[in-house]
Amino acid sequence: MTTMTDPPQASFRLSQLIYDTRYRSYTFQFIALMLLIALMAYLGANLVTNLAEQGQNISFGFLAEPSGYDINQRPIEYDSQSTHLRASIVGVLNTLIVAFLGCLTATILGVVAGVLRLSPNWLVRKLMAGYVEAFRNVPVLIWILIIFTIMTAVLPAPNAFRGDDSESSMLFGSFAFTNRGVYTPAPIWGPGSLVVVLTFLASIFGAIYYRRYATKLLYDTGKLLPMGWPSLVILFVPSILVYFVMGQPISLDYPALAGFNFQGGLHIRGSLIALWFALAIYTGAFIAENVRAGIMAVSRGQTEAAASLGMRPNRIMNLVILPQALRVIIPPLISQYLNLTKNSSLAIAVGYMDVTGTLGGITLNQTGRAIECVLLLMLFYLTISLAISAVMNVYNKSITLKER
Amino acid sequence: MSKDNIAFHRTHMLPEAPPPATETGAIKWLRENLFSSVANGLLTVVAGYLLLSLVISAGPWFLNGIWDSPSLTACREMLDGRTGACFAVLTERWNQLLFGFKYPDELYWRPTLAFVLLFVAIAPVLFVKFLPHQLLIFTGLYPFIAYWLIWGGSIIVPVMALLGVLFGVLVYRRTLTVSAGVAVLAGIVGAMVFWWIAGFVTGSAAGFLALEPVASRDMGGFMVNLMLGVVCVSLSLPFGIMLALGRQSDMPIIKWICVVFIEFIRGVPLITLLFVANVVLAYFLPPGTTFDLILRVIIMITMFASAYIAEVIRGGLAALPRGQYEAADSLGLDYAQSMQFIILPQALKISIPGIVNVAVGLFKDTTLVSVISMFDIVGMIRGPILASAEWNGVYWELFGFAALLFFITCYGISQYSQWLERQLQTDHR
């Protein structure tokens, strides 16, 4: 019979905290935590001393005070009597506007350039490679400044459009490119225009439904309905009919030279255009590389297999390559959107009033509340980043290959 | 059936004929690469037209360029109505573009020498396989030499800094037998103590072997971009590795500290961090500390770059097969050894393209310091040069020059990284 005896219970020695792997990690974590707390306490104490010395405090009350400055691009009602909070909201909206426009344009540019980089045409391939390399390797700030220079120093002044044989003339009689910005026709929403808009929205849904129905019919019965022209008819004919039935409620307001400047129409400032185009072209170069990598990641065998089934080239692209490539393309694409949004903070270099220009620029300088302003600014960008990464995680989960 | 019934039959071999003209040489290449289909032909014509119009409009501008003129008006007179560039602004303001407008003229040789030595120092790192390893000693000395050359002052300061680092390494080596973490801590503390003591010596020997000191607010131009880029990338590599290892660690507190730091830094634009460096950081330092703006900016950009490099390296660590970690454990290696000899060499190799991307991006982002009124190359162009009476209105030459400098550097770096990837490829393809 064997007897089990407990191993001799070693008494705990202090040196085990360092030498024994069981306890060592606790020691390190404890030290790390202590160092962190000490650092925080040190910085906090310095902050309190410094603020007390300058007779300041941390307070967000300044947000409710009148701002006292004007913003040239106002998506919502705002004047210099409005509060700093409202100025920040205007800035946030301006950031979102340029980010949205930039992402949209960058995607189009990037997809076109990325696909063309794989084209069989040598000249086009090299041209696109040149575009991608030129824009990826030069700071976006320089591109913003270059386009801003074109917008302000190269384009003609409004009075160059004066007279019958003027130096400059408007494009199609409705677009004016001046050094004070671009003037385009703006829609005027008359009474009854809501009906037209609603009809158009309804026809979008109608077109989508028709396409789904046609696909289902094809899969169920093999009967092939035409897709192209019926969707166009559904999309546009009802809206046009309603437009005339309602008595043409939507009209265009054309810009016209009045006094020293253009009046009427939609005025897009040079700063917005510089920021928008520079960000779009710069990010587009990165997206082009992602698109190219995504398409090349689909193995050649897939193309050949599809071709051997007798598919035509555009069907191969739409039905075989793209669905597989999108899985690779979309995650880096979204992080490019995020980069574009963060880079839009460079607006401050051309005087576009985004949130960095209002909250982090004029409000900060006027109130002197550096800590609060920078903190709010960081929180805003952090929120956007975290929200987009959350969306991306959900998306990544949904497209992960379901393997057996 | 005899041969006579057949109308024709060949009795001898035909001589070899050359392929048809459309299937050889330039014509074949044109057919296949430019005009393989109608759509492609159209595309070629459009692209060719665009390229040609670009050359036609930019060609005379380049060729008529004036390289020697004191101001824009004089340059316009020389051009006499023709289209042409005023490259004279580059030659006349060359030193300002490179060194800023306050760096003393007679000291330009110092940053230039530091720049040349940079290549000597960096070559043994870039071409490890081709150059003797002894040259790496110079690479280790380079930061102290460069500091002395660019900022000037007594040679005691960089020497003491160097000795402090060496002392820290010595302490690290001695305590390594206990545990890697303890050794790192002990090394850092050792170096700190050494520097603290050395502070008494340097103060009293300020004039010893001194170069004329230059304040960092007097520096500008492309020099600032290069300095920020080189310093921040090289500092952020070790920090990035530490953050990545911390994020992969089993210790929850350390892991969460790293995660929060990385995600916070990656979530905000660099500009806001530069604002912190410019206006906020002073609040968190002891009252009365005066802290160089350039140093504050280096701290913030290094933090920024470390977070991005940490994510790249984490990708490399995650891409290693689990078996590598287990193999290292089964050999009986402790954490530091397994990281040093097994994991990191492989993980870093995988991460090279990502690290280079971050480095290039960071180098481009150094232009953002112009927003917080530092006079880097973009700041110089927008500020002193375009605002001067002589050169107000010269845009293309200046921005084009800045773009060209960045393009050469960044394109060079990315080409090097592709070469390095091929060199390090050990798998069989």
Closest CA–CA distance from residue B4 to any residue of chain A (Å): 47
Closest CA–CA distance from residue A240 to any residue of chain B (Å): 34
Q: How far apart are CA B28 and CA B21, in angstroms?
A: 8
Under a CB-based contact definition with an 8 Å cutoff, are residues B382 and B375 in contact?
A: no
> b/e for B401-423, b at 16 or more Cβ within 10 A?
bbbebbbebbbebbeebeebeee
**Least confident window among B3-12, B37-46, B212-221:** B3-12
**Least confident window among A120-124, A161-165, A232-236, B56-60:** A161-165
pLDDT band at A159 (very low <50, low <70, confident <90, very high): confident
Instruction: Give the A window 358-397 contacts with B, CB below 8 Å.
Output: 360, 364, 370-371, 374, 377-378, 381-382, 385-386
Per the document, the length of chain B is 429
Q: What 3-state DSSP class applies to A258? A: strand
pLDDT band at B289 (very low <50, low <70, confident <90, very high): confident
pLDDT band at B333 (very low <50, low <70, confident <90, very high): confident
Q: Helices (DSSP H) in A54-180: which residue ranges?
A: 84-116, 122-136, 140-149
Residue in the structure block whose two tokens are 């131009």: B221
Q: How far apart are CA B286 and CA B101, in angstroms?
A: 32
Whether B251 sits inside 8 A of A139 (CB atoms) is no
Whether A349 sits inside 8 A of B44 (CB atoms) is no
**Facing residues of B376 across strands?**
B221
Q: In this predicted model, what pLDDT tens digit does every residue of B115-139 receive, in sequence order?
A: 899 888 888 888 877 888 888 888 8
Could you tell me what percent of chain B has a pLDDT over 90?
A: 19
Least CB–CB distance from A127: residue in B36, B47, B368: B47
Radius of gyration of chain B (CA): 30
CA B296, B297, B298, B302 torsion: positive or negative? positive
pLDDT surpasses 60 at A8: no
Tokens for A372, please give them: 């609060």
Q: What is the per-residue pLDDT for B87?
A: 85
pLDDT band at B363 (very low <50, low <70, confident <90, very high): very high
Q: Which residues contact A176 (CB under 8 A, 6 or more apart)?
A: A158, A161, A170, A182, A183, A255, A262
pLDDT surpasses 80 at B209: no
Q: What is the per-residue pLDDT for B336?
A: 80
Which amino acid is present at B185?
A: L
Q: Rounded mean pLDDT of chain B? A: 85
pLDDT surpasses 70 at B341: yes
DSSP letters for B373-393: T--BHHHHIIIIITTSTTTTT
CA A236, chain centre distance (Å) = 29
Top-confidence residue, B347 or A404:
B347
Top-confidence residue, A237 or A9:
A237
pLDDT surpasses 70 at A386: yes
For B341, list phi and psi in degrees, rounded to 5: -100, -25
State how far the alpha carbon of B320 is from the alpha carbons of A299, B250, B350, in Å: 23, 17, 9
Closest CA–CA distance from residue B206 to any residue of chain A (Å): 30
Q: What is the per-residue pLDDT for A379?
A: 92
Tokens for B226, please give them: 């290069």
Q: What is the per-residue pLDDT for B301?
A: 93
CA angle B20, B22, B27 (to 5 degrees): 135
Radius of gyration of chain A (CA): 30
Closest CA–CA distance from residue A92 to any residue of chain B (Å): 14
- What residue in A sits closest to B362 (Cα-Cα)? A139
Full set of structural domains in chain A with CATH: 84-161+168-185+254-399 (1.10.3720.10), 186-253 (no CATH)
pTM, 2 dp: 0.85
pLDDT surpasses 60 at B429: no
Q: How far apart are CA A89 and CA A84, in angstroms?
A: 9
Q: What is the per-residue pLDDT for A4?
A: 59
Q: How far apart are CA A149 and CA A160, in angstroms?
A: 18
Q: What is the per-residue pLDDT for B403?
A: 93
Q: What share of chain B is helix, strand, coil (3-state, %, to 5)?
A: 75, 0, 25
Q: How far apart are CA A216 and CA A357, in angstroms?
A: 52
At the top level of CATH, which class does the domain B90-103+216-424 belong to?
mainly alpha
Mutation target for B interface from A123, A147, A279, A346: give the one with most B CBs within 10 A: A123
CB count within 10 Å of CB A323 equals 10
pLDDT surpasses 70 at A167: no
CB count within 10 Å of CB A194 equals 12
| Span B96-111, average pLDDT | 84
pLDDT band at A362 (very low <50, low <70, confident <90, very high): confident
Residues in chain A closer than 8 A to B276 (CB atoms): 374
| Span B38-50, average pLDDT | 86
pLDDT surpasses 70 at B205: no
Whether B47 sits inside 8 A of A134 (CB atoms) is no
| Burial of A158 per CB tally in 10 Å (0-12, 13-18, 19+) | buried
| Span A265-272, average pLDDT | 82
Q: What is the per-residue pLDDT for B4?
A: 67
**Least confident window among A71-85, A256-270, A285-299, B270-284:** A256-270
Whether A146 sits inside 8 A of B280 (CB atoms) is no
Q: Which residues contact B330 (CB under 8 A, 6 or more apart)?
A: none
Closest CA–CA distance from residue A62 to any residue of chain B (Å): 17
Top-confidence residue, B153 or A259:
B153
A6 touches chain B (CB under 8 A): no
Q: What is the per-residue pLDDT for B337?
A: 83
CB count within 10 Å of CB A240 equals 12
| Span B29-54, average pLDDT | 85
pLDDT band at B427 (very low <50, low <70, confident <90, very high): low
Top-confidence residue, B4 or B278:
B278
CA A24, A30, A36, A39 torsion: positive or negative? negative
Q: How far apart are CA B359 and CA B240, in angstroms?
A: 12
| Span A268-292, average pLDDT | 91
pLDDT surpasses 80 at A189: no
* Domain extents in chain B: 21-63, 90-103+216-424, 153-210
Residues in chain A closer than 8 A to B395 (CB atoms): 146, 149, 153
Q: What 3-state DSSP class applies to A161? A: helix
Q: How far apart are CA A247 and CA B33, in angstroms?
A: 55
Top-confidence residue, B33 or A128:
A128
Residues in chain B closer than 8 A to A381 (CB atoms): 267-269, 272
Could you tell me what percent of chain A has a pLDDT over 70?
A: 92
CA A47, chain centre distance (Å) = 36
Top-confidence residue, B287 or A114:
A114
Residues in chain A closer than 8 A to B182 (CB atoms): 18
Q: Among residues B239, B235, B249, B424, which one has the least CA distance to residue B336? A: B249
pLDDT band at B239 (very low <50, low <70, confident <90, very high): very high
CA angle B144, B149, B151 (to 5 degrees): 90
pLDDT band at A275 (very low <50, low <70, confident <90, very high): very high
Q: How far apart are CA B416 and CA B420, in angstroms?
A: 6
pLDDT band at B303 (very low <50, low <70, confident <90, very high): very high
Q: Which residues contact B348 (CB under 8 A, 6 or more apart)?
A: B241, B313, B316, B355
| Span A343-365, average pLDDT | 87
Q: What is the per-residue pLDDT for B283?
A: 84
CB count within 10 Å of CB B280 equals 20
Q: Among residues A336, A339, A338, A380, which one has the least CA distance to residue A357? A: A380
Q: What is the per-residue pLDDT for A349?
A: 86
pLDDT surpasses 60 at B268: yes
Under a CB-based contact definition with an 8 Å cutoff, are residues A326 and A398 in contact?
A: no
pLDDT surpasses 70 at B240: yes
pLDDT surpasses 70 at A165: no
Q: Rounded mean pLDDT of chain A? A: 83
Q: What is the per-residue pLDDT for B178?
A: 72
Tokens for A176, please give them: 């004016």
Q: What is the per-residue pLDDT for B125?
A: 83
**Least confident window among A249-263, A288-302, A318-332, B379-393:** A249-263
Helices and strands per DSSP (H, E), number in chain B = 18, 0
Top-confidence residue, A183 or B427:
A183
Q: What 3-state DSSP class applies to B344? A: helix
- What residue in B sits closest to A378 (Cα-Cα)? B268
